[in-house]
Structure 1
Amino acid sequence: MIYLRLVLESFRFAVEALRANVLRTLLSLLGVTIGIFSIISVFTIVDSLERNVRTSMSFIGEDVIYVEKWPWIFEGNYPWWRYFKRPAPNLREFRALEKRLTHQQGVSIFWNKGGATLKNRSNSISDINIQGVSFGFNKVSDVPVETGRYFTPQEIEGGRNVALIGADIASDLFPGQNPVGRDLKLKGLRFRVVGIMERQGENMFGASNDKNALIPYTAFMRIYPAGPNGLEPSIAVKGLETDIGLLDLEYEIRGVMRSLRSLKPRDEDNFALNRPELLADMVTGLFDVVGLAGWVIGGFSILVGGFGIANIMFVSVKERTNIIGIQKSLGAKNFFILFQFLFEAIFLSLIGGGVGILLVFLITLVPQDALEIVLSLNNIVLGLSVSVVIGLLSGIIPAVLASNLDPVIAIRSK
């Protein structure tokens, strides 16, 4: 009960400190407000950016390893010209991986061709990305079918002219109509629409499934035949959830690929195993640097705010010296006086930090088309925790001085 009374009394003294000299107190708390605002706003924006980046990268799948000719991240000492000599993945390797891998739940081969044009009578849409995919593509990548269906194995292996299109293609080529069951033209060939993907909008990289069209890889190869300068495919393998870090899958893929390409034990790999988490780690590292900058920028403001709160507390101790003497003469212990001023400093700091968090929250209410900014609970807790620490550090010396006052001398002071 004594602790509850202590908290309530400290809160009352903090409110009285605000009322006694509103302008002085507000100016002193301004540093804490700006500091918390700087730190939490930076962290909020960084978290929102990171969330949007990771969402934007979801199209390349989770727990997936890509077998490709080129690595996504180049090694510093590796001669770049050696990459040109590497063979591209092929159908034979795809079928072997699909048959021999045990630590997988989906294997797919796919090609990409950008800048294509699709037509339906007088309607056309350009800059379309055409993907030639195998049947397991929906297991390794996100293919959200809203209307219609996905391909059947017979359509894939038979090379039938069927297509799964994005929302922008559907609305531009078939305005006011249900595209499922209708035909569109690609390179003069008719393709029957079997499904429409959900509208997703552009991600942070400018990519969007809304302008994607999936067709069977067998039909794709008829339109875009392979050759020395032809399009190079990628093989994607989705690992098991029980394979932490996909280490077993990576070792298995490497072993199968080296066997297929007749590589000797001392020969280096002539293929790349690309993993999306490598890009995610790079993004996280970049955002860590931005977050550190936020701490540095906000730290100076918080330091100034801490001195301001300490100044308020020294003035408060001086103004209430007589009251402290009376409390001690009536039996108040030193720790009671100490915690009283510490709680007051923490309350003042929390007020400044709370205003800073409120300003960040108001920013999140502003509509943003490119980036949705969300103030997370973690950042709110972080801001309040920093405020508590600043209040504690700022009030510790004035509180110790107040608790060590001699009651007789304190009562006689004016």
Structure 2
Amino acid sequence: MLILKLLKESFSFAINALIVNKLRTFLSLLGITIGIFAIISVYTMVDALEKGIKDSIASLGDNVVYVMKWPWSFDPDQPWWEYMQRPQPTTNEFREVKRMSMGAEAVAMYIRGSRTIKYKSNSLENVNFIGVSYEYNQVADVNVEEGRYFTEVETNSGSPVVVIGASVGEKLFGGLEPMGRQLKFMGRNLTVIGMMKKEGESMLGNSNDDQIIIPINFARTLFNERSESLNLTISVKAKEHVSNADLMDELTGIMRSIRKLKPKEKDNFALNELDMLSKGFDSLFSIVNIAGGIIGIFSIIVGGFSIANIMFVSVKERTNIIGIQKALGAKNYFILFQFLFESIFLCLVGGLVGLLIIFIGTLILTYGAGFEVFLTMENVTLGISISVIIGLISGFIPAWGASRMDPVEAIRQ
């Protein structure tokens, strides 16, 4: 009952301080509001970006290893010219990896590039194309909504067929049904047999909407697969019970065997996995979080000083009341708790206003701008915790001074 009474009286004093001195309270709370807004808004945006990028990476397959010429992260101790001298993966190596790998669920090969495509008088420039082997849809996300994917016969024979992205279909054919129509690609006719589901652009820009997929054996009739610009890649998807580390060990042995490398020779190929990208982004987001936290801390410090100032003023204005309370038997801890509660309450109000502004901003960005942003419970808890801590620190010295007052001297003032 004593604790409840103490809370009630402290709450009444805090509300009274807010109401009686509106301008002073507003200016004091503004610092806390800005500080919480600065810190939590940065963390909220970083969380949204991190989720978007990791979702984009996950859509590429988190259990896939890519055999390539170039690594995604370079060894600073290895000269650049050694990377330049590496050979491109070949079709024969793809077949050998497919034959020899025991940990692979699927092995695919593809080349990438960009060219102009046409349909009658319409044309699209710099459209991304992928020349793929039949197993490509088993290692990558190819969601065909209309029509179908290639058959194995079409892929192996290099049939002039194509699966197009949703945006390509809309821009090239307008309102016409794309299925069965022919588009021109490097002077050759390609029959549209499928169109992929519209995805929208991901954070990494790896959407299927603006690209076309063709059989790799058809692409080989138009391009030299050893061309550096095409960057031929062998992608290997691990079996369910096989880890990426085990698969990479196996692929290292297979590729060294295929290329007849001696035990002391360095690998002349790269094995890349999406975890490399995730780790790179993790370090980037950590730096951004630290920078945002530092910026927010300065705002919080300013807000903390303003709360401390308002508490000193509050103690000064209520000195005679403190003296009367102590003369009537109020304990030191009662006075201490009363002013501490007021300080924490003021900071909490400022912090909640900052969180409310962030929440409104997330709704505007998500539903107005189409960029999904979310305020997590972890960030809400962090914002409230920071507000309480700042209130505790800012109000302690004024509250301690109030609790140590001599009742006679306090009443005289």
Q: With structure 2 as the length reference, what TM-score do the two structures score? A: 0.90
What amino acid is the match of 1:36?
A: I
Q: How far does residue 46 in structure 1 lie from its aligned partner after superposition? A: 2.3
> d(CA) in 1 for partners of 2:111 and 2:207?
17
Matches within 5 A, 1:104-119: 104-114=104-114, 116-119=115-118
> d(CA) in 2 for partners of 1:103 and 1:3?
65
Q: Residue 342 of structure 2 corresponds to which residue in structure 1?
A: 344
What amino acid is the match of 1:234?
A: T
Q: Residue 303 of structure 1 corresponds to which residue in structure 2?
A: 301
> d(CA) in 1 for partners of 2:294 and 2:19?
32
Cα separation, partners in 2 of 1:308 and 1:227, compared to 1, 3 Å: closer
Question: Is the contact made by 2:226 and 2:232 (CA closer than 8 Å) also made in structure 1?
Answer: no
Tell me which moved more, 261-270 or 274-283: 274-283
Structure 1 gaps, min length 5:
none
Cα separation, partners in 2 of 1:119 and 1:13, compared to 1, 3 Å: same
**Residues 126-153 of structure 1: CA distance to partner in whole angstroms, max 9, x if unpaired?**
2111111122222222222222222222
Cα separation, partners in 2 of 1:146 and 1:329, compared to 1, 3 Å: farther
Is residue 137 of structure 2 the alignment partner of residue 133 of structure 1?
A: no
Q: Residue 167 of structure 1 corresponds to which residue in structure 2?
A: 166
> d(CA) in 1 for partners of 2:353 and 2:227?
64
Match of 1:262 among 249, 260, 263: 260
Is residue 42 of structure 2 the alignment partner of residue 39 of structure 1?
A: no
> d(CA) in 1 for partners of 2:338 and 2:99?
72
**Residues 191-237 of structure 1: CA distance to partner in whole angstroms, max 9, x if unpaired?**
22222112223344555321211111111212224356673310112
Question: Is the contact made by 1:52 and 1:371 (CA closer than 8 Å) also made in structure 2?
Answer: no
**Residues 279-303 of structure 1: CA distance to partner in whole angstroms, max 9, x if unpaired?**
2222222222222221222211211
Q: Residue 14 of structure 2 corresponds to which residue in structure 1?
A: 14
Percent of aligned pairs with the same amino acid: 49
Matches within 5 A, 1:263-342: 263-328=261-326, 332-342=330-340
What amino acid is the match of 1:154?
A: V
Tell me which moved more, 365-374 or 306-315: 365-374
- Secondary structure of 2:344's partner? helix
Cα separation, partners in 2 of 1:11 and 1:97, compared to 1, 3 Å: farther
Cα separation, partners in 2 of 1:301 and 1:220, compared to 1, 3 Å: same
Cα separation, partners in 2 of 1:213 and 1:315, compared to 1, 3 Å: same
Tell me which moved more, 44-53 or 78-87: 44-53
Question: Is the contact made by 2:113 and 2:229 (CA closer than 8 Å) also made in structure 1?
Answer: no
Structure 2 gaps, min length 5:
none
Q: How far does residue 381 in structure 1 lie from its aligned partner after superposition? A: 2.0
> d(CA) in 1 for partners of 2:264 and 2:179?
53
Question: Is the contact made by 1:58 and 1:142 (CA closer than 8 Å) also made in structure 2?
Answer: no
> d(CA) in 2 for partners of 1:31 and 1:92?
66
What amino acid is the match of 2:275?
A: E
Cα separation, partners in 2 of 1:339 and 1:107, compared to 1, 3 Å: farther
Cα separation, partners in 2 of 1:399 and 1:126, compared to 1, 3 Å: same
What amino acid is the match of 1:39?
A: I
- Secondary structure of 2:265's partner? coil
What amino acid is the match of 1:191?
A: L
> d(CA) in 1 for partners of 2:264 and 2:312?
73
Q: Residue 354 of structure 1 corresponds to which residue in structure 2?
A: 352
Q: Residue 199 of structure 2 corresponds to which residue in structure 1?
A: 200
Q: How far does residue 107 in structure 1 lie from its aligned partner after superposition? A: 1.9
What amino acid is the match of 1:269?
A: D
**Residues 353-377 of structure 1: CA distance to partner in whole angstroms, max 9, x if unpaired?**
1222222233334456584443333
Cα separation, partners in 2 of 1:149 and 1:5, compared to 1, 3 Å: farther
Q: With structure 1 as the length reference, what TM-score do the two structures score? A: 0.89
Q: How far does residue 238 in structure 1 lie from its aligned partner after superposition? A: 2.4
